[in-house]
Amino acid sequence: MKRILYLIAIAISVFSFNACERTELSETVNSVQTIEQSDLNVAQFCPSHNVKVENGMMIFDSKIAYDVTLIEILHSNPELVEEWYKSIGVETFYQVFNQVVKAENAIDSHLRSLSESEQEYWKKQPEYHSAAYDEAIVNGILIASQKEGNSTYDYNLADKTVAPLINTIRLVQIEDKIYQYNDNSIVIVDKEDIDLLKSKNLETNEKTIVITYDDCNLKSVNSSYNWTQIVDFKYTTSNRHRARFWIDGHSELVIHKFDDGSWSNDHCSDYIDCTFYLRIECQKKNFWGNWVWETDVPSTTINASWNYNYGSYDSDPYITYGCGLYDRDINYVPSYNCSPNPSSICPTSPINNLVLVGNGYYYPVTPHGRWHTATAYFFSHPFEVHGNATATIEGCSYIFNYSW
């Protein structure tokens, strides 16, 4: 599949943002602070970690800073987050998605406000979309649903969980690496090699890592390493509203070429890829009777617990590097505190009464992401995950129970 590579090669200064003024809190982190201004309480989004910006691309000093900021955005009011984006000069996929939802809903509200005769006329006309929608589709930010009777859309990304932190030219920097998220691949380069992203032959360049996703949604893999759970939508009595909660989970060893010309395989690699996120979808029927994204979304309460393990050859007494005959299971990934509930580990199991108010969310949980061995020993098998989850949508009889 053709990749569209975007790059701005204009050198400007790097700006660092501590987001906004904040009230100091002891041993706690809060993603939304309240500031007194002329006796008015003005809420604004304040990420816990500093965020640098260069050429409209966010730069994070650590993976923890990246992960925590992502979680804080998903817990915050999208309108406050949008104001923060504007203040630092960044436009993200997440921001575009929310703008399109609002623009599409404005069309629907306008049509429903017309007289009965005018409504009858427009119902006979082909469905049309907002300028924001058309622009997002043309620019490859969003991709339209191909299902009949469905006018929803989704992020045109291999890993959709990154939507709140990558800009519309698909870039983000974590430590000294730049990540480019395409529609079916992820490209990783050192920050000093950013110009390589213009190259047409990234897969053959020794300075780049290219992860290709043949099917980036509900990918089918070895059953031992696939814990995806999805059920049909549940409907209200009027059948004009529906919702579902689901889990996409699978893990694979990354197959790639080493510097010496040899290849990793599905039993020996220095990289593990893991997809593990919670998904919330709330939809309604629009003026033409097609399913679209809901704008007035009730809160969803999630409880979940799980355990996981991966394999490493670091117990093999006969090797000092790479893969051997003897491996062991490891069930620990370093975790950290993050808001809005700093008293518990996030986003690691368990999740207790997590409340989300939003739509189209991809909520990543441990061990989602790409993992590289920190030792001289390689991985013997990817993540295997077992657990259970319950999601309840407020004001509805929607209760989703999963176990895997």
Q: Quick one: three-class SS letters along 290-317?
A: CEEECCCCCCEEEEEEEEEEEEECCCCC
217: helix, strand or coil = coil
To the nearest 10°, the Cα dihedral for 341, 346, 348, 352? Answer: 20
Strands (E), 110-231: 142-144, 153-155, 171-174, 177-181, 185-190, 209-212
First to last CA, the chain: 33
How many alpha carbons fall within 13 Å on the CB side of residue 19? 25
Tell me what pLDDT residue 3 has. Answer: 36
Q: What angle do CA 318, 323, 329 make, to 5 degrees?
A: 95
Separation between Cα atoms, residue 370 and residue 275, nearest integer Å: 9
> Is the CB of residue 163 less than 8 Å from the CB of residue 155?
yes
In 3-state terms the chain splits into helix, strand, coil percentages (rounded to 5) of 20, 35, 45
Tell me what pLDDT residue 342 has. Answer: 44
Backbone angles phi, psi at 70, to 5 degrees: -60, -50
Tell me what pLDDT residue 15 has. Answer: 43
Separation between Cα atoms, residue 276 and residue 385, nearest integer Å: 9
Separation between Cα atoms, residue 260 and residue 285, nearest integer Å: 56
> Is the CB of residue 70 less than 8 Å from the CB of residue 159?
no
Q: What is the largest CA-CA distance in the chain?
A: 82
Tell me what pLDDT residue 88 has. Answer: 96
> Is the CB of residue 156 less than 8 Å from the CB of residue 140?
yes
Strand pairing report for 171-174 and 57-60: parallel
Map tokens 């890592």 to a residue.
Answer: 209
Tell me the average confidence (pLDDT) per consecutive run of 10 residues in the chain, 404 residues long.
34 44 32 36 79 96 88 88 96 96 96 97 96 98 94 94 96 95 91 86 76 56 81 83 90 82 88 90 94 87 92 93 93 65 62 83 88 90 94 77 86
Separation between Cα atoms, residue 154 and residue 142, nearest integer Å: 5
Peptide bond into 350 cis (omega under 30): yes
Tell me what pLDDT residue 37 has. Answer: 35
Residues across the chain: 404
Separation between Cα atoms, residue 43 and residue 46, nearest integer Å: 9
Tokens standing for 70? Answer: 């992502």
Phi-psi region of 38 (alpha: psi -120 to 50; beta: other; left: phi over 0): left
Tell me what pLDDT residue 34 has. Answer: 32
